[in-house]
Structure 1
Amino acid sequence: MDTSTIVLTRKRTNFRWAIVVFLFIVTAINYGDRATLGIAGKSMQTALGFDAAAMGWVMSSFGIAYVIGQLPGGWLLDRFGSKRVYFCSIFFWSIFTLLQGSVYFFTGAWAIIMLFTFRFLMGFAEAPSFPGNSRITAAWFPAKERATAVAIFNSAQYFATVIFAPIMGWLTFEFGWQAVFWFMGLIGILISFVVLLMIRNPKDHPLANSAEVEYIAQGGGLVDMDQQACADDEKAQGPKLNYLAQLLKNRMLLGVYLGQYCINVLTFFFITWFPIYLATERGLNIKEVGFAAAIPAICGFVGGLSGGVCSDFLMRKTHSLSIARKTPIVMGMLFSMTMIFCNYVDSVVWVIAFMSMAFFGKGFGALGWAVMADTAPKEICGLAGGLFNMCGNASSIISPIIIGYIVAISGRFEWALVFVAAHALLAAFSFLFIVGPIKRMELKK
């Protein structure tokens, strides 16, 4: 009797799904912390006398630090393992979130400086979060389930605002804007200690039996990743500098990085400019914008889960990572280009319909983290994920500025929508013609 037959005769635990639910919760808190300034910002400006320019700099501080912190965060994950770095990341970003409430005690320029500093440090502390998610997923899930797992935790970005915005709005109204930061900071601190109980290697976890561990390992899961990362010889050296050069020379990963940058252009358009588009181009008031913007977000959530399930279904049927991952990505990106049709309709209903289709397509094709879990070298999953996230989130700094100039020069959003849709086409092109076969990269020692 072979090993696979033995595994099937034992009752297998399914603790890996509890792990992904925990990642969903952490990711929702992550995006909730990012949204605090959006909810409390207007009251803060009134109380502390910020102008729009100062608030703009404060808002940018997170993105700048988040991008800068990706490579150091990934390196720390590879050197010290997921558990310790994930705990420290959540704990410290929550501390810096909480401290933003203390800006209440400062005035004038010092209030701006302190808020910028705390927001910057929060972004830097959050940098290992998504590479950590990818690393944990690579350890806990076989390839045929990995896209669904990634889709579940990644979908938290769509629901974070729905979950936390009403609570934060009520706190601001009842107790003042500073209560928002104290509330979100305390939640994060509490969750960080749960990491110490939840996040371990599959081989070491008391709630995952040997049958589950063997099932994960046979499916390509890196069940002993942290044991390898923390071996004495590796721990002493950390990832070698030439590893980074190998990542940057690998055609497959360069195509994945380019694709993720383009996909995130769509993400940040919906986060930053889409509400403004509805208000200025389509004449909706603030209340109407809130409801209208929620519909595409829900479609994005549905698309994200559907894309993950579809990818894993294709993996089981074809046993090909390239077909399983590329098909939803390319289909989703092409479908997201329906946003261009908004340029040819006057009805707000049709605008919301086309934008909902586009955001569904974006969610359906947002499998970049699944691809990263499939392809990152096992010795440096954290570093590879950090470089991937750095490239993807560079769009959070670049694309909103470019869209702003397009709108300022043209006075309308038509070419801005074309700009965003062109990135969806480029993402599809990258995965079709640059990435090549999807497989785990092997490092040259």
Structure 2
Amino acid sequence: MTATVAAPDTPGVRRVPITRGYRFELVKLLSQWRVRVLIVACWLAPAVFVTVVSQQASLPVDTLFGRMMHATGWAGPLVLLGFSGSWALPLLTSLVAGDVFASEDRLGTWRHLLVAVRSPRRIFVSKALSSLSVIVVLVIGLVVSSTVSGLLVVGNRELIGLDGHLLSPGDAAGTVLLAWLCALAPTLALAAIGLLGSVAMGRSPMGLLLPAVVALAMQIVQQLPIPVALRLALPGYAFISWNGLFTEPAQSGPLLIGVIVSLAWAVVATGLAYYLFVRRDFTNPTHDGSGRLALTAGLLPLVVLLGVSTAAIAPIAGFGSGIDQDKVQRAVAVEFAHLYRLQTKQLNRADVTEAQLQTAAECTKGGDQVAARGPGNDWRCVVSWHIPGVDVAGSAIYQLDINPLGRYVSDGDGPKEVNGFFLVRTPSGDEPNPLWQFDGNIELLPVK
């Protein structure tokens, strides 16, 4: 007896409306102690984290915007976004979407649910929408909690972008919100993978862990020197590409591709989960999923989607690393010029424009032994600039560590008057030296 026979769509049967089914599934989710704990944690834990870290002397400088948590309250939600994309959001989608169907298998309540609702299709839609609603509430909690605590503890101050330009508090607020909105796309992709795992693997715990395992695998792959086309074709890249919003002009190309790819994965994975769900045999109380069907109708279509996405992105992005000498030199020169003006303002010197500075950078990788392209911690840049009225050009040395994702950390290596110390002496006291160490971002797509 199949699901279609168990719940026939005959004219004489009154089916439960989707709105009622949605409310019922939402109440079931919210009645679970695990979900309640997650909601409380997402609305409170970020505030505690940002408050504690912002008041410590040691900052998470290895995290993007971590070195700025003393300077502005807008750095807190960005640090949390970087952490959430790697760990928190995959775990949340696993615990909510990855268990929404499997819980019925463990409890053996499918027959009762089918008798009450009378439509497997409506059951699927209700469960998918309810899990999505809970995930959105969790994400909103992360954003609101981290933002409010950052503004209250540190203040509504300017934010330094990843190319050294200043974002006003208003611009910072809009950009931070947009970054979190873009992160919703890969979150939906992981949630859809959770639905697929919950349907395909039944009561098996692997269905519950699937979004977290997929996210971890994508993190590992992203740290490898893979082609740019494959990097952008992975659904988790939008957790990273929001960095491009904090440059001027914004590096919108990789971000748009990442969002589109993530939404495509969300649609395809949800469709596969729906296909498997309406074809399953609900009369079997020991159903643990069909391994063969999960492979042919679950895994293989996603592999095909990855291949198609890579082939579609390849003409735009190419198959190289996306990191070359010209891009590095341009990024370092632009950021140094912006930060030099900040230091000039700190020291109450006469203001100069970027055009007047005529900043340039000459960068090499590993000396003359290797080609100046690709990631690595052996990049070295000599930055030169001109001050109006001074005949001799200034110069500064930086050691760069560039990861495969295009993010780099520049460490000043002299002269000491420019970037040799982490503090500069100003008329109002010692302040952090913006030229000592700074983070930047290189766009992996070809730059015109």
Structure showing the higher strand proportion among its residues: 2
Query: Does 1 or 2 have the higher relative contact order (CA < 8 Å, sep 6+)?
Result: 1
Q: Same fold (TM over 0.5)?
A: no
Answer with 1 or 2: which has the greater Rg.
Answer: 2
- TM-score w.r.t. length of structure 2: 0.34
- TM-score w.r.t. length of structure 1: 0.34
Structure showing the higher helix proportion among its residues: 1
